[in-house]
Structure 1
Amino acid sequence: MSIRIYHNPRCSKSRQTLQLLQERGIEPEIIKYLETPPSEDELRRILDMLGLRPRDLMRKREPEYKASGADDPSLSDDELIALMVKYPKLIERPIVVHDGKAALGRPPEQILEIL
């Protein structure tokens, strides 16, 4: 049973989600995505599992959102994914992936649906 969490230790929701997993005896593979961003292909798979479009997984209040040009409504999904890989702060967190499914830990309890 392999469980992966795309984690930012500075984010309270990410810490709460990790704690929720650990309280259930689950030690997930922790990916500090700001240090090791997902590849474009990996991000596409995550988006498919979440059933989201790229813009739906973006942190629109991050300064990088406007600075990177991600706020341009004419950008394609491919262009948005490329920006998310280049500027991983744009990726909403935490994301938990398990057994071909993914969930966003907002709120943290939402991840229980895929366990």
Structure 2
Amino acid sequence: MIKIYHNPRCRKSREGLDLLEKSGKDFEVVLYLENVPTPNELQTILKQLGIPAMELVRKNEAIWKEKYKGKTLSENEIINAMVENPKLIERPIVVNGNRAVIGRPLEEINKIV
């Protein structure tokens, strides 16, 4: 089943959700700020995306700039930072089977739906 990691306050995330709704396919919405992915779940998502953890981080968030910017962090430390501060997770993330995309630009979602 298709899964979207969604933040209703984010315009791009809302647009991604709208695209999925219009696709007519079944999908699950994960409000990741409330149901924060575990470190293992994030590791799986990163493998599905085929990217290192740093590429999933929203580096313009104040929490990143205040606590982490300029520090040398391991993959696990970056993942743990996202678990502790889920606002740092880029959105929307759409997972379908063993593949995932970040819906920026929005057209990326079409590649796996």
Normalising TM by the smaller chain, what interval? Answer: over 0.9
Deviation at 1:56, TM superposition (A): 0.7
Gaps of 5+ in 2: none
Q: Which whole-Å CA distance do the structure 2 matches of 1:33 and 1:70 have between them?
A: 21
Aligned to 1:26: 25
Calculate percent identity across the aligned residue pairs: 48
The residue type equivalent to 2:62 in the other structure is P
Aligned to 1:41: 40
The residue type equivalent to 1:19 in the other structure is D
Q: Which whole-Å CA distance do the structure 2 matches of 1:76 and 1:24 have between them?
A: 38
Aligned to 1:83: 81
Gaps of 5+ in 1: none
Aligned to 2:69: 71
Q: Which whole-Å CA distance do the structure 2 matches of 1:52 and 1:84 have between them?
A: 15
Q: CA RMSD, aligned part only?
A: 1.0
Aligned to 2:13: 14
Deviation at 1:99, TM superposition (A): 1.1
Matched, 1:94 2:98: no
* 1:33-69: CA deviation from partner (whole Å, max 9, x where unpaired): 01111000000000011111111110011011022x2
Q: Which whole-Å CA distance do the structure 2 matches of 1:27 and 1:71 have between them?
A: 39
Q: Which whole-Å CA distance do the structure 2 matches of 1:42 and 1:70 have between them?
A: 22
Aligned length: 113
* 1:16-44: CA deviation from partner (whole Å, max 9, x where unpaired): 01101111112421011011110000000
Deviation at 1:72, TM superposition (A): 3.4
